[in-house]
Structure 1
């Protein structure tokens, strides 16, 4: 019997029994993985998904990269949502050079007058200039009004108030201007002058033709056909 407190050496016991420590295999661990000289055995259990344990770090790396990409995308969307909306570029107003052009071509300011012939000469000059510039009917009104000063400008402002919120058309403005500065009485007088026009003994054909053309606008129906015009020159 061994003395109390003395333990037997297990390695010595194995040598005495003739067993070698080399190549010995330890019992299976609680997890079922056999530990031997080669480490993890070939029949080690697979993790969920079928990948060996040794490949788990690669999967973890893929998951990490995917997570980072998603986080970056979310951060980008958040930054875009929080970014201030850029202010629209300022609109540079277009400068209408025709206001300056019609003045350079001879259209003068109109102060208003009680003499219909003065008003008529001014109107005809302005219309000739606007025809050369190529003004549309919509633009004629604003160009003519831009020439108004003094009493003419006061009249125009009063006319706008009379129309209230309604836009005045070019045709309406022509009628209003005629009623104010070329009244019906004046136009009727000129019409009768045209109808009674005859070439005098002291008047040349060229002078008569010029006078005829100046008055013909007051009664265009009287010379609507070529026959009518020839009759007036007999």
Structure 2
């Protein structure tokens, strides 16, 4: 039984590396002469990344999930000191479903083997946080109210959306005012705004 498990684990590792090689073949043409070199280079790299338990990105209309995934991948790559186009290769290895289709389209339009990390970030932002998404997110934040949410749920959603609408709440005072305006009237009346000098802070409950 233990031997079978070891084989399964190795099979998954080999499958991941084989997947990477196939992706290289798609964007770079035949790699028969260089497969051993690529395999030896990528195998330890992807194995190390796998041990960090990175999230898979499937595509989303939620800018928070996109920002969270990109931040997580960037942190892992920085921690592992992955440089150059290997950063792009590693990150795109973790995209699936709709995000995989988007990346395949990008791969057909340009030579992604030479794509820098900055160019990848820009392409990702253009797709998942374009002008329309930004406007929608800002509008959602501006009209956010507590509704049927409990206060902690409202506070969490408020913080997530505020991250993408900083122009609407540039100071602690405006942020606190916006937060209180969204609360249920009965709760808002009971909220104590703590003032220190001219600085206003988030409500305390």
TM-score (norm 2): 0.49
Q: Which has the higher contact order (CA 8 A, sep 6+)?
A: 2
Which structure has the greater CA radius of gyration? 1
